[in-house]
Amino acid sequence: MSRSIDYYFSTQSPWAFIGYAAFQDVARRHGARINFRPVFLGELFAETGGLPLAKRHPARQRYRLVELKRWREARGLDFHISPAHWPFDPGLADRLIIGAQIAGHDVGPLVGRLGAGVWQRQENLADPATLAAILAELGLPAALLEAADGDKARAIYQTNHADAVEADVFGSPAYVLDGEVFWGQDRIEHLDAALSSGRAPLTP
């Protein structure tokens, strides 16, 4: 029986981008289904006690830069530590994924392309024209941009937030397997082990 993983993330999260290929590989090897659940990190941080980057102590901000460089090397990725159009409002890009889900598309390639757009191509994902060009590149209909701004996509975005809080998710990326939260792309190996062993989920 195929297992499913609730994947909570945002297009503006560098850690979601860094771990995306490794996460997809784990899910593919185990035949697990990925439930893509974009969330608005600003609201999630506010509700769960997290701080936006600009409000963190300078020591934490500096350490983040070191960790990004470490993981860039560890994952064998080429990306900008401080891309030109970051930070940005991720709402439209996040909801574009939801709009594609509503329309029945496989959103895996779109999620990967949006992450590359921020961190490798330095594109402005808050710009509708940029998002329209990405849709065209992937052969997806431009109408998905309208769906991203529609009531249904906005409602699902809010539902994702509520479900994330209920699941004890407080950051991006978070992988939830049978109710057990694996927070951060540096926990993918633990997720892999849990899928391999078939053990019962760990609880607090």
DSSP tag of 81: S
**45, burial (CB in 10 Å: exposed 0-12, middle 13-18, buried 19+):** middle
| Mean pLDDT in residue range 181-200 | 97
Does 162 score more than 90 pLDDT?
A: yes
Residue 14 to residue 181: CA distance in whole angstroms = 19
pLDDT of residue 2: 81
Does 179 score more than 90 pLDDT?
A: yes
- 37 phi/psi in degrees, rounded to 5: -130, 80
Which residue, chain included where needed, has tokens 């999630």? 44
pLDDT of residue 202: 97
Does 1 score more than 90 pLDDT?
A: no
> Which residue type sits at 141?
P
Residue 10 to residue 26: CA distance in whole angstroms = 20
Residue 159 to residue 29: CA distance in whole angstroms = 29
Average predicted confidence (pLDDT) for the chain = 97
| pTM (two decimals) | 0.96
Supply the CATH classification number for the domain 4-197: 3.40.30.10
pLDDT of residue 99: 98
Per-residue model confidence as pLDDT tens digits over 74-117: 999 999 999 999 999 999 999 999 999 999 999 999 999 999 99
